[in-house]
Chain A
Amino acid sequence: SQQGEEDPQALSIQEGENATMNCSYKTSINNLQWYRQNSGRGLVHLILIRSNEREKHSGRLRVTLDTSKKSSSLLITASRAADTASYFCATFGGTSYGKLTFGQGTILTVHP
């Protein structure tokens, strides 16, 4: 399997519910980042968590990182229909010139 794999591949929830997406990776990292992509559009940077951090918050987003398990989770609280998008984790190994390795992504659908 590949660096930066998310699960679930697809998640469907109702507005107001929380959405949790997970990401696993294989090699050591300097940081892990989460991006959002609306259908057919560009990538929007959501949050970055460094390898020495365990949890980070930004608005309704909460990211955790467990380097011992090589995994991260993204929690979106009180989801809105506008949160409907694909979410990708991307890892930065720290030994290259900024190359990000993306996972397959989770498609989140929030029903109003």
Chain B
Amino acid sequence: EPEVTQTPSHQVTQMGQEVILRCVPISNHLYFYWYRQILGQKVEFLVSFYNNEISEKSEIFDDQFSVERPDGSNFTLKIRSTKLEDSAMYFCASGALHEQYFGPGTRLTVT
């Protein structure tokens, strides 16, 4: 059964460093998403991506964040200059409008 994959599973970085989180969505899906979950809190929407552009983003998704689909298969989330409060589990999802399939997540720890 096809699934969304994410790499790495755990990333540790120092404050101020750039990180790129990678996702491989399910191949015939057209909509792509990033969500994050700070430890002990609810899952929060970051951004949706359709037709090679951002279709919606939350107030969390500021200028420090960017997304890209560089080669038609990978979908990446870049954080330019990480802050301590960026520590969270980041989930990629792909799918249709009404149903999304989530990846296993990347745990980002900013020290």
Residues of A within 8 A of B (CB): 4, 30-31, 33, 35, 40-45, 48, 88, 90, 92, 96-105
Main secondary structure of the interface of B (DSSP, over half): strand
Cross-chain contact B42 with A104 (CB below 8 angstroms): yes
- Interface bracket on B: 20 to 34
Residues of B within 8 A of A (CB): 31, 33, 35, 41-45, 48, 50, 55-56, 58, 89, 91, 95-105, 107
Cross-chain contact B104 with A98 (CB below 8 angstroms): no
Cross-chain contact B103 with A42 (CB below 8 angstroms): yes
Min distance, Cβ A23 to any Cβ of chain B, angstroms: 12
**Ordered nearest first, which 5 A-B pairs have the shortest CB separation?**
A97-B55, A42-B104, A102-B43, A43-B102, A97-B48
A43 to B33, CA, bound (A): 13
Q: Nearest residue in B to A6 (C-beta to C-beta)?
A: B42
